[in-house]
Structure 1
Amino acid sequence: MNYRKLGKTDLSVSEISLGTWQVGGKWGEPFSHTNADHILNAAVDAGINFIDTADVYGDGESEKAVGRLVRSRSEQIYVATKCGRRLQPHTNEAYQPTALRTFVEDSLRNMRLETLDLIQLHCPPTDVFYRPEIFELFDRLKDEGKIQHLGVSVEKVEEGLKAIEFSNVTTVQIIFNMFRQRPAELFFTEAKRRNIGVIVRVPLASGLLTGKFSADTTFSADDHRNFNRQGAAFDKGETFSGVDYETGLAAVEELRAIFPDDTNLAPDALRWILTFDAVSCIIPGASTPAHLTSNLQALERPAPSTEQMATVKAIYDERIKNPVHYLW
């Protein structure tokens, strides 16, 4: 495993880390603590030391599994969770310091931990990023020893740029992959200038960049890759990175020509992300230990050649950029 500094937190985190949206079950399936324990322990065995979760994943069950892992292992494991998505309705007005404090304290109880290494606002509405009182709350929580660092998870580049104007924001979690390349422009430049840790989520575009899907692939009714393609439940950029499914399949076929020796494109897609030095770590998910093994193969891949990097960019420019680039 290789490690990188997580911005000004000075935490040294595994390049390939673990996101737990689907740990314990695939999207649309009930949470399984047995499955979660297998995946989480396999991750630590492989050298992963940064686990990202959220209070809404499995309605708190994911946090409980992560907390159990931390308490059962001797290794240094950094825990990041998120707060805010439990608000109903999920609006700017609903974001209040009292509510967020309650969520943080609930997460500590879920995980049976005394402090959180990183707490992140969970993709709040854009207006929240213009409210200093929200960010000031986390200074008080840090003084109380309940959190160590504050970060944000964002949908849009503009939200990330606004968030890092607050001095106590140390990390930004953002979607970045071969189908979502805009962050590599101004945002990465500003993140490096301000020493902000960049946590990359949705690195495989909800599995589309594995190369394992086809026009005949079906997803269950409860899977967001079925019901959220047009943003019916939450920001559609979270599903296939906002890329039209058929357009994405066509682009994947062109990517296969760049990496012809690999039937599984996932390691190449992850290795591509790691070529950007602004990135601190990637948090691909895994619903089985096999998915984790696949993700870790990225560490064995050589860096893409200059020609491969240029061709990935050309495919993005031709097929993806116009409908996607300027939305997020």
Structure 2
Amino acid sequence: MKLSVLGNTGIEVSQIAFGGVEIGLPYGPGIHSEKDMLQETEAIALLLQALDKGVNFFDTARMYGKSEELIGKAFRHRREEVVICTKCQHLKNSAGELPDDKTLAHIIRGSLEESLVALRMDYVDVLMLHQADLSILKNETVCRTFEDLKKEGLTKSIGASTYTVKESETAINSGLWEVIQLPFNLLDQRQAEIFDLGAKKGVGMVVRSVLMRGMLSDRGKNLKAPLAAIEHHISQYANLAAKEGMTLPEYATRYVLDQDKITSVLVGIDKPVYLENALETAGLPALNKKLLAGAIPFPDPEFINIPYWDRMGWL
């Protein structure tokens, strides 16, 4: 497994990162309850298998159910072998408002303390904002508290999980956030416009949503009527990939791996076969000209909103 330094942090991470949400809570198409998920012993075995096969970067969050706890149990005797990224709990209330400064700092500190207990660790390698919109990224108390936690050695580096190009650009230009986690995939390629900026500023860039919660796989078939255009676009990728001897997930993952400004690619892994597929894809050669030419994004990227699709009952 290829290792690369995460921006200017000095931290070496594997090209494939283990996305920990799927082992922590029901997530993605077809996963409706804990009965559809791995049991604890299976999840721990999968985490250890990933580490033994060269994956050293594990992504989790306070909001990911049992994910931190499982990672803590898996790596309690192998802390120095892994790079752990976790995310602070959400900072805004249901009305979309931030609390007062004192409460805000208390929430951030309390969230990290809870994460460290669950992870059975004294520090994390990367502590990130979760759902970092512009108001959060620019909030002085948020910035100062994260800086203080780094100075205290509770995290080696700090970062932000963003959604929009403007959020990513703001985080990169701030000079504060060292790692950015952003969405990028075959269907939605908007974030590509800030890749050069991030590389120039020495910010480590980690991509999530590579398979769009499994949509860029066999789960992207037989979708409900409002998603017909999405399904058609996905089928075009699948047909092209098949002609070139690849599966759709291989095509989608390899396309992101081929972005030279990206340090690591988060892959949601909740089955051994998904781990094996990710490792095999990382070992494939770069995409040929036909596959690159066929990597056309969905023409209406604003429509791509999986949480909204979920709320509408389309998944």
TM-score (norm 1): 0.83
Letter in 2 for 1:259: A
- Map of 1:78 onto structure 2: 83
Select between 303-312 and 10-19 the one with higher mean Cα deviation.
303-312
- Map of 1:62 onto structure 2: 67
Match of 2:254 among 263, 268, 271: 271
- Map of 2:114 onto structure 1: 106
Deviations 1:162-212 (A, max 9, x none): 112332311100010001101111x11210110111111110011111244
Q: Distance in 1 between matches of 2:301 and 2:54?
A: 38
Query: 1:89-238 alignment to 2 at 5 Å?
Result: 89=94, 91-94=96-99, 96-185=104-193, 187-215=194-222
- Map of 2:312 onto structure 1: none
SS in 2 for 1:79: strand
Q: Distance in 2 between matches of 1:154 and 1:118?
A: 15
- Map of 2:278 onto structure 1: 295
Q: Distance in 2 between matches of 1:92 and 1:86?
A: 8
Deviations 1:69-104 (A, max 9, x none): 221337610000001327543734137122111111
Q: Distance in 1 between matches of 2:302 and 2:74?
A: 38
Change (3 A) 1:4 1:120: same
Change (3 A) 1:144 1:25: closer
Residue 36 (str. 1) matches residue 36 (str. 2):
no
Letter in 2 for 1:214: K
SS in 2 for 1:200: strand
Q: Distance in 1 between matches of 2:5 and 2:219?
A: 32
* Alpha-carbon offset, residue 3 of structure 1: 1.5
Unaligned runs of 5+ in 2: 306-315
* Alpha-carbon offset, residue 310 of structure 1: 1.7
* Alpha-carbon offset, residue 140 of structure 1: 1.1
Letter in 1 for 2:94: P
Q: Distance in 1 between matches of 2:223 and 2:136?
A: 41
* Alpha-carbon offset, residue 264 of structure 1: 3.0
Query: 1:309-324 alignment to 2 at 5 Å?
Result: 309-313=292-296, 316=297, 320-324=298-302
Select between 291-300 and 88-97 the one with higher mean Cα deviation.
88-97
Q: Distance in 2 between matches of 1:45 and 1:114?
A: 23
Change (3 A) 1:25 1:169: closer
Q: Distance in 1 between matches of 2:272 and 2:303?
A: 33
* Alpha-carbon offset, residue 116 of structure 1: 1.0
Number of equivalent positions: 295
Percent identity, please: 26
Match of 2:53 among 26, 46, 49: 46
Letter in 2 for 1:167: G
Q: Distance in 2 between matches of 1:323 and 1:40?
A: 33
Contact 1:181–1:325, Cα closer than 8 Å, also in 2? no
SS in 2 for 1:91: coil
* Alpha-carbon offset, residue 124 of structure 1: 3.1
Change (3 A) 1:296 1:248: farther
Q: Distance in 2 between matches of 1:141 and 1:2?
A: 30
- Map of 2:239 onto structure 1: 257
* Alpha-carbon offset, residue 282 of structure 1: 0.7
Deviations 1:46-73 (A, max 9, x none): 1000000001111xx2111112222133
Change (3 A) 1:26 1:294: farther
Query: 1:3-14 alignment to 2 at 5 Å?
Result: 3-14=3-14
* Alpha-carbon offset, residue 276 of structure 1: 0.9
Q: Distance in 2 between matches of 1:139 and 1:323?
A: 34
Q: Distance in 2 between matches of 1:111 and 1:90?
A: 31
Change (3 A) 1:264 1:292: same
Alignment root-mean-square deviation, CA: 2.5
TM-score (norm 2): 0.86
